[in-house]
Amino acid sequence: MEDLTIKVDGKEYHVKIEETDSKLRIHCGNDVYDVNTGNKEAAIYNILKDSDHHAEGSGTIISPLPGTIFEVNVKAGMVVKEGDSLIKLIAMKMENDITAPKEGKVMEVKVSKNDNVNKGDVLLIID
């Protein structure tokens, strides 16, 4: 079992992870989640994002589906408003607009035009 401390929006979470051949079992507080994925980081992020363990308006922007980065509309240091277009992602021949979930400053952009991404990959971080 792996013990991790994860910081999301300035709040620390203590998580324990058990790995089996087919899934991850993630212990977060008194809750236990079984996840059928090999991508630990994405699985943990999604659990914290979708549960009451995580505050609304996360600044970590993840890819909602696999695809190719078509356009990056922001740079580190830029200030964005909620709803601003951050990245355009091409998936299944469709253009998907990734928008800011909250107002803030872009701390880091982790992708570039033409990069291939998987569902759950971190695209950028807003503070």
pLDDT-based confidence at residue 50 (cuts at 50, 70, 90)? low
What is the pLDDT at residue 57?
46
pLDDT at 52 over 50: no
Closest CA to 118 of 63, 37, 71, 40: 63
Amino acid symbol at 86? L
Task: State the CATH number of the domain containing residue 106.
Answer: 2.40.50.100
Residue at 55 is within a domain: no
Range(s) of the domain holding residue 113: 60-126
What does the alpha-carbon distance between residue 44 and residue 13 come to, in Å, rounded to a whole number? 10
- Give pLDDT tens digits for 71-95: 999 999 999 998 899 999 998 788 8
Task: Tally the domains of the chain.
Answer: 2
Whether the Cβ atoms of residue 98 and residue 77 lie closer than 8 Å to each other: no
In the 3-class helix/strand/coil scheme, how is 18-69 assigned residue by residue?
Answer: EECCCCEEEEECCEEEEECCCCHHHHHHHHHHHCCCCCCCCCEEECCCCEEE
Residue at 91 is within a domain: yes
- Give pLDDT tens digits for 16-33: 777 766 677 777 777 777
Instruction: Name the least confident of 3-17, 67-81, 82-96, 109-123.
Output: 3-17
Please give the span between the terminal C-alpha atoms of the chain, in angstroms, as a whole number. 31
Q: What is the pTM of this model?
A: 0.55
Residue at 76 is within a domain: yes
Q: Are residues 68 and 122 in the same domain?
A: yes
